Amino acid sequence: MERKLNKILILSIWEDIWSLGEGGGVADELQFVRNLTKKGIELHFLIPEPRAKRENLGDSLLTYHTYPNLFRTFERLPAIMRRFIWPTFFPFVALRRLERLAVEIKPDVLMGFTHYSFFPLKTVGRRLGIPTVVKLFGVMYLDRFDFPRIKYLWKSVEQVIALRSPVDHYIILNDGTRGEMALTRLGIPREKISFLPNGMDTEWADLPVDRNEARAMMGLPRDKILVVTFSRLVKSKRIELLLRAIAMMDPSLREKAAFVIGGDGPERARLEREAASLGLERAVLFTGVIPHRDVVHFLKASDIFAATNELTNMSLPPCEAILCGVPVLAFDVSGTSEVVRDGETGLLVKNGDVAGFSRKLELLIGDDALRKRLGERAAEFGRGYFVSWDARIDMECRVLERLAAGKDTRSGAAGGRGK
């Protein structure tokens, strides 16, 4: 008799619902919870002890359990120390609690978020005979086999070690870091991997937005070509490269545009100082966090999206820009060209070529017809390519159902294209 998917026990490293940080962005976890509980599936999250009581989202099928918060215990240590202390001690903190809960709850599937969960899931799953699956929201530098070996290991050693604790299945979200390729190169059988697209608010494509009203509402200039970006402001986003590209532009073209940097994070103060040192105080506007409900208005009021991430420029913000008909100018890194298609949905620049980025900015600002053509093609591409949150979570749910039933879990889902 087949086992049905009624209960999932999830080991997470986050005490709060994951998002892009500082109050912005989309929480994949939130979509996961809402969609699975709607299907009547009972979810038990095992999370670090939170600073404040965890929001239960008003659902009786959702329960939070906790383990000691070693992340907070060591948060004052330098980043380089935390990087190795956290994954080393995590199994000692989480494993025993996970096993006790699994015995008590009797879940149909044990699920883990991120590479931290590999060893505890493998151990408990084998002891109790429960199917195991780890969900990776991206693989960081794990796909960068073009790096020198020493650099690759320095960037990815925690994940490489974690993968030595195999689980029954691997769900990887396609954020452009080419997770399926990375895991297969590292010895994970392809049939054990479900490579799923990120979910999107696909209804944005057809949402009418008055550009002037949106600009007025958000305090953006109405008479300028808007070059925008938004993200959590951390080092890997390399926003300083955008600032340097702006500073290199022809002053007459720079004057035609306003450059808007949305988001917040630990790098914001440094970026504001760099903008000032480059003489860009009047040209660049830092908005702070843009609430997710306002992102569609922000994008549809914009003209160009600039993407400078060193990991991937196929993350949600550039994809949302394409969906909203905004051409994307991006450094061509990892899987970026899957969605930022040169001459079709935007323009690509060799990774790290700031002068080239500056020249392409000048081209887009100075050519209204090019921007219009790229924007129209981007919107057309986005409608056919991206998948809704409901569709993406359904893909994930089918993988979990097959795993619970003990069947082959190959989903057949492509890494980015919707049906």
Between the two ends of the chain, the Cα-to-Cα distance in Å is: 32
Q: Give pLDDT, residue 415.
A: 46
Task: Please state the rounded mean pLDDT for residues 88-107.
Answer: 95
* Residue-range domain boundaries for the chain: 7-197+387-404, 202-385
Q: Give pLDDT, residue 377.
A: 97
Q: Is the pLDDT of residue 412 over 50?
A: no
On the question of a common fold for 7-197+387-404 and 202-385, the answer reads: yes
How many Å apart are CA 259 and CA 265, to the nearest integer? 18
For residue range 40-68, list pLDDT tens digits in order. 999 999 999 987 665 555 568 999 999 99
How many Å apart are CA 402 and CA 84, to the nearest integer? 35
For the domain made up of 7-197+387-404, the CATH class stated in words is alpha beta
Average pLDDT across the chain, whole number: 91
Dump the DSSP string for 200-213: E-GGGGG----HHH
Q: Which of 268, 263, 320, 267 is nearest to 289 (CA)?
A: 263
For residue 12, give the amino acid letter: S
For residue range 121-153, list pLDDT tens digits in order. 999 999 999 999 999 999 999 999 999 999 999
For the domain made up of 202-385, the CATH class stated in words is alpha beta
Q: Give pLDDT, residue 407.
A: 59
Q: Which of 113, 176, 152 is nearest to 311 (CA)?
A: 176
Task: Please state the rounded mean pLDDT for residues 242-260.
Answer: 96
Percent share of the chain, pLDDT over 90: 81
Q: Give pLDDT, residue 213.
A: 94
Q: Is the pLDDT of residue 181 over 50?
A: yes
How many Å apart are CA 333 and CA 351, to the nearest integer? 6
Which residue carries 């505890």 as its tokens?
120
User: pTM of the entire structure?
Assistant: 0.89
Pairing verdict, β 199-200 and 225-230: unpaired
Q: Give pLDDT, residue 411.
A: 39
CB 8 within 8 A of CB 43: yes
